[in-house]
Chain A
Amino acid sequence: MLRPRLQLTGITKTYPGVIANSDISLQVMPGETHAVLGENGAGKSTLMKIIYGSVQPDAGQLFFNGAPLRVRNPKEARAAGISMVFQHFNLFDTMTVAENVWLGLSAQSLADVRANIAAKAREYGLDVDPERPVHTLSVGEMQRVEIIRALLTNPQLLILDEPTSVLTPQAVDKLFVVLKKLASEGCSILYISHKLHEIRALCNACTVLRGGKVTGVCNPQQESNASLSRLMIGSEPPQLQHAAHTPGAVRLQVRQLSLDREDQFGVDLDGVDLDVRAGEVVGIAGVSGNGQKELLYALSGEDTRAQPGSIQIDGRDVAGLHAGARRAMGLHFVPEERLGRGAVPTLSLAHNLLLTRNGAVAPGALSAGWIRVRHLVDHASALIREYKVKAAGPQALAKSLSGGNLQKFIVGREIDAKPTLFIVSQPTWGVDVGAAAQIRGEILALRDAGCAVLVVSEELEELFEISDRMHVIARGRLSPSLPMAEATVEKIGSWMSGLWESAHVEA
């Protein structure tokens, strides 16, 4: 019988107040592509960090090719044949690809590294120029650099943490080709994800985690999405009702919005045209870093440099108005960064209401600006109940909540304001499947109530689920509107590379 490449037994890790991993066992065979499936907070990342040596377990053992292995740090893990590609890239923007890779391989000369990169790139079809500075690379190319860097150590086990969250559908397909080739050569792959269809397409074994424990081991190719999601969250997500309807008046109108980047590695907006009508959800797809951030800053009023007349709400020019003034006109916005932008980490949930809500601020000339604390706390408690936010109470600090729970609170705070124009970025990022369904349901309810909704997301499935029309943003330019009937994953995917104008160019 074949010896497992990696075997974990009884791995336990506790952090103050949290059990991240409890008695976890896991077995990966040579050449196996093994999925680790679980919601955010299920303990996937901690487990991978233990295998990669950046976190030490409190209990449990690790066997590699049958022998007990103790990895004190990532360097030892790499020496043993374990490599990892992180979700967030560890690359220096101002250095070239070769220099970045060279940093981790002090034993070789830069010229050797260059040659090795080119060789690996050819071998696996990972097309990347070693001489290009990293800041000129697209996100997909940066990931290729990270993968090449991992492959240069000739690993027997490659760990990939949510590798597809930043890729276009086409780039995902390319990545899968590389991974399948690697597996066929006998390299074991640990693939961390919460995207069920990817796991079913790629992996031939799967360990499911929930709340730090193993809840199932299966072959994903013999499972359905529904059965996998039952293992992952304990139930199936509810189906959304998407009723047909006719949209009303134009609430948000953007005409020829162009803006120079604010920071060095940002994106210039170039002639963006966009309409959002009452009672419709407009989705904006795109790979991150293509101008979404800049567009949202301009729309929300956090950036007021837009040319006069380029942004109108209900027919009124708002280009120069700050975020508070636009909010007074009915625009509510949920930003992508929750901590530090959507909420102040060190303030209570109740006080975080005051960022965008004035219900607890006394009106009237004499008492203007006075905060009614009782009112504020009651309001926060009501939101926590209504949006099922897991928090110690209205006095809990924003930073004490998990990302998903804070997102529920922030989305609740904005939806509860009954906006007439609602803009939301990455509405369900890091949110568990049940809560994601709840948030999407709230967005659709808002639409049905006659609100104009703009959703910017990198999750294509999400946009397909809730949008009435879609745009794609690429390199700071916005595609024409595409009705859902004409939108396919292939078409959106090729538009993500900016190819909507020249239809004859093959993707």
Chain B
Amino acid sequence: MLKLEARPEPSRAWSYGSPVLALVSTVLVGLVLFALLGKDPGRALSMFFWEPVKSGYALGELVVKATPLLLIALGLAVCYRSNVWNIGAEGQYLLGAIAASGVALMAEKDTSGWIVVPILLAGILGGMVWAGIAAWLKDRFHTNEILVSLMLVYVAIQVLGYMVYGPWKDPLGYNFPQTKTFELATRIPRLFSGSRLSIGVLFALIGVAGMWVFLFRTRAGFALQVGGLAPAAARYAGFSSRRALWVAFLISGGLAGLAGALEVAGPIGQLTPYVPAGYGFAAIIVAYVGRLHPVGMMFSALLMSMFYIGGELAQSRLGLPKSLTGVFQGLLLFSLLACDTLVNYRLVWKHKLEGR
């Protein structure tokens, strides 16, 4: 019979192999799913894995969607490595978007393009403030940060609703709940004409490099992670858990807020009730599939972005339900968690011995 046997030490090969195996099994389950829904599985799969990469423009779109996911996931990885369970990146992302919109709405026709700088700073600050609420409540009253950060997401959605239905509603917008379209000067500079790729990609790449250095080459980053790996050892070393809490929340809040600012002042160009697209939650999966490693998260962000785009294509071209995107995301995380067993265990075939 098949048995799981503990490995003497974790397998290095499987720590890379497990995400690949998880992806393969997600695809296999996907094939069955498409067949059951009465669609040609090959065509459906190509929506997810070929259409998003088949041309330069498609690749650009892929990166556009991957950018906010990666930025948010980078911050979340710091949290999760520090034993700080920030589940509310979506709310921090929204507050970043709202704060950035506040600045963007101040722009006039003749405003200089440098207004982008305060827009982005406002986004970072907005995200930090929202994350700071959860950090403060935990620090001061020992509340559970999972619940608080999650509930703050729904508060953030209400704040967004209030702004677009109330004070910021476009007076010339036929009563639609949205702000006016931002002035052109506020638009995040693009890298190439004809593509929607913006300098946000550069921020994300700088974020990857910076995060790698912070986590693996600085004492402050080390101290944070000890708090996550062995809280008693952090206490023994004298690394402050309060400090870890604040640093992790502020970094992830700031990055989520930056992602929000890049979205509203970039591809969206105005504040609408449709800004919350679930990036903050999808980024949790990005962070874990990428092994909480900055470079790994680059790949998982692209993968997750493929699922988003593929899901939209499958909806518009094949008439498949949009919730398929969520099913795919969930499947991937689920199979990754299952495959991770192989990092610490191996499968062995044991003959059942008589009497054992």
Contact = CB atoms under 8 A, between A and B. Distances in A.
A400 B219 contact: no
Interface of A is mostly: loop
A212 interface: no
Contacts of A177: none
Given A16-B5, A351-B222, A325 B238 contact: yes
A9 to B, nearest CB: 17
Nearest to A357: B237
Interface string B198-223: 00000000000000000011111010
B9 interface: yes
A323 B220 contact: no
B236 A361 contact: no
Interface in A324-350: 324-327, 333, 335, 337, 340-347
Contacts of B356: 56, 72
Contacts of A346: 229
A340 B230 contact: yes
A340 B235 contact: no
Interface in B134-169: none
A326 B236 CA distance: 11
Nearest to B223: A354
Q: Most chain-B CB neighbours within 10 Å: which of A17, A342, A345, A371?
A: A371
A301 B236 CA distance: 8
Contacts of A370: 217-219
Nearest to B353: A56
Contacts of B218: 369-371
Nearest to A70: B355
A400 B9 contact: yes
Contact of B233 (A300, A344, A373): A344
Nearest to A328: B238
A355 interface: yes
B240 interface: yes
A347 B229 contact: yes
B226 A371 contact: no
A93 interface: no
Contact of B219 (A337, A341, A354, A397): A354
A361 B95 CA distance: 37
A356 interface: yes
A322 interface: yes
B8 A361 contact: no
A340 B233 contact: yes
A340 B219 contact: no
Interface string A351-395: 100111010010000000111010000000000000000000000
Interface string B21-62: 000000000000000000000000000000000000000000
B346 to A, nearest CB: 9
B233 A324 contact: no
B251 to A, nearest CB: 15
B239 A324 contact: yes
Contacts of A400: 8-9
A335 B222 CA distance: 21
A373 B226 contact: no
Contacts of B236: 300, 302, 323, 333, 335, 341-342, 355-356
A323 B229 contact: no
Interface in B2-25: 5-9
B106 interface: no
Contacts of A322: 238, 240
B347 interface: no
A325 B239 CA distance: 10
A326 B5 CA distance: 44
A390 B226 CA distance: 24
B237 A355 contact: yes
B327 interface: no
B232 interface: yes
A355 B235 contact: no
Contacts of A347: 226, 229
B237 A356 contact: yes
B219 A371 contact: yes
A72 B9 CA distance: 28
A17 B219 contact: no
Contact of B237 (A17, A18, A323): A323
Contacts of A72: 355-356
B237 A369 contact: no
Contacts of A354: 219, 222, 237
Contact of B6 (A16, A70, A351, A397): A16
B355 A341 contact: no
Given A16-B7, A70-B355, A72-B356, A323 B219 contact: no
A351 B8 CA distance: 21
Nearest to B214: A369
A17 B8 CA distance: 7
Given A358-B219, A371-B219, A397-B9, A337 B232 contact: yes
Interface in A313-329: 322-327
A319 B319 CA distance: 68
Nearest to B356: A56
B34 to A, nearest CB: 40
Contacts of A16: 5-8
Contacts of A344: 226, 229-230, 233
Nearest to A337: B232
Nearest to B233: A344
Contacts of B235: 302, 323, 341
Contact of A369 (B7, B219, B226, B239): B219
A56 B355 CA distance: 10
Contacts of A325: 238
Q: Most chain-A CB neighbours within 10 Å: which of B5, B8, B237?
A: B237
Nearest to B348: A16
B214 to A, nearest CB: 10
A429 to B, nearest CB: 17
Contacts of B229: 344-347
6 contacts: A301-B238, A322-B240, A324-B237, A335-B236, A354-B219, A400-B9
Given A324-B237, A361-B219, A400-B9, 8 more contacts: A72-B356, A323-B235, A323-B237, A335-B236, A343-B230, A344-B233, A345-B230, A370-B217
